[in-house]
Structure 1
């Protein structure tokens, strides 16, 4: 019923990932490992875990993650069978030992009521060799509210701590932003399909922050910036109605700020902002917003 899909490339922390799967108290899952033409030999390590949990392994001969991480996710998901629910687990992330057990324990609560189930999370900081305090969430939360909490930096979210229904994935898919930055944020907004996200706070997914992954690598700043601009344009175009005026101003401010990191707003971007402001704000609020956000 639950497929855990791992798009593999880096060996450095992968044994810890596999060990966390072997330590699951409930083994009702199947792991699908898609090797993205990695130069690092994985076979000997996989032999060590034969029989400890159910997994299938496939090596792709062409590296795809270097040009499109989303397409690598997609071809790894295609390795899976008919499981109704999917988790994409990073090759350096770690599951707490009760993650799968608590997922099944809560199944009756979220089945048919939600397309997205997430876990509490902690961050592993490679540089300082420390672990963050726990990040928890409301038991039930609208996806747009969840993202706004992330925008305000009072919460966090990433790919590994979510499971999603195959039906919602097949309906929407992952949008292919550069470096897949924000591709998961957009997926949760779309996959939810007007149903709330259900959270299991009793189990934890450990997400690694290191110089080897996209989140921790500062060399990718320009690509991340481009992804942010594209994502916030989508958010304004498609999800603005779910926010109040204060939240809309924050989102527009974020959109403009991401553009101004590298250049001035162009004419079409100004027209885009003015158009959505005229639709959603009254004249007084619009004047206040422009004064606050765009004065030079």
Structure 2
């Protein structure tokens, strides 16, 4: 293990399906400034075979005696965080994502010159499927510094993405751990905003995380839609409280509200079945923002669902 490492790459492991391509990418661009931690969440497929194969890449491996991620993803992330060293930067990389060639090297080249008043280093994201095929999303956010509200507004508009693995965070900004919601839904977004509440986010566009949207990914599973919808209500309440305290000279509360509700339409249409309970969650999200259109918001979602069903049919 490198005692002078600046970056802790944390891999919360449970699924073996795509771990090898990730470790291959990290091994090809190994750097003395990085320590790689592999934390096995009591997976049915222990990671020991990978630890042996990549013994010169993985700096620390722990297999926990109990599975925590099944009950609380954020609890598992916090448990991992408690077992790393004193690195200045922390980077959580899910076991099914991968880096484009050259990205790790570019991140390492930048990390030494990141200003002290920057809390997160964020980079571009692409979406791939289970077979590694490009799904067409293109990150268009210009490289530069952003305050947390401006950055999130641009994410809501589709210029970029926030995923667990799309940024490095200063260890000092993660001292309280991850913001907790059911199923960890929205926790990566809230934690990113909280970590950058007093400092800026630096976005670079020459390094890319490939976010894998497969049937194994929680984002593509709809059986737990009610938990996700409840989490969205909780996140909306958290976001409103955050925005009331945040200071942005470029983006207003009403702009973020409009973008958040528009983004939410896609969630309710694609993820949730047409149920009264779903409409109640949609109403609660809009009402949280004090929107005068709270009663109309669920009806709009019903209309979009109906139009979508007709087009598909």
Superposition TM-score tier, normalisation by shorter sequence? 0.7 to 0.9
Matches within 5 A, 1:120-159: 120-126=124-130, 129-138=133-142, 139-159=144-164
1:250 aligns with 2:258: yes
Deviation, 1:168, is: 0.5
* CA deviation vs aligned residue, 1:93-141 (integer Å, no higher than 9, x gap): 1123433322232234423020100121211112683353542423212
2: distance between equivalents of 1:118 and 1:110? Answer: 11
**C-alpha contact (below 8 Å) 1:87/1:164 kept by paired residues:** yes
Deviation, 1:266, is: 11
Q: 1:238 to 1:11 in 2, by over 3 A?
A: same
Alignment correspondent of 1:238 = 242
Structure 2, unaligned runs of 5 or more? 1-5, 300-313
Aligned partner of residue 190 in structure 1, secondary structure: helix
Alignment correspondent of 1:184 = 188
1: distance between equivalents of 2:7 and 2:14? Answer: 22
1:228 aligns with 2:270: no
1: distance between equivalents of 2:40 and 2:25? Answer: 19
**C-alpha contact (below 8 Å) 2:243/2:253 kept by paired residues:** no
1: distance between equivalents of 2:204 and 2:24? Answer: 22
1: distance between equivalents of 2:160 and 2:277? Answer: 23
1: distance between equivalents of 2:295 and 2:221? Answer: 31
TM-score normalised per structure 1:
0.83
1:199 aligns with 2:203: yes
Q: 1:41 to 1:141 in 2, by over 3 A?
A: same
Aligned equivalent of 2:19, options 14, 21, 28 = 14
TM-score normalised per structure 2:
0.79
Alignment correspondent of 2:49 = 44
Structure 1, unaligned runs of 5 or more? 278-288
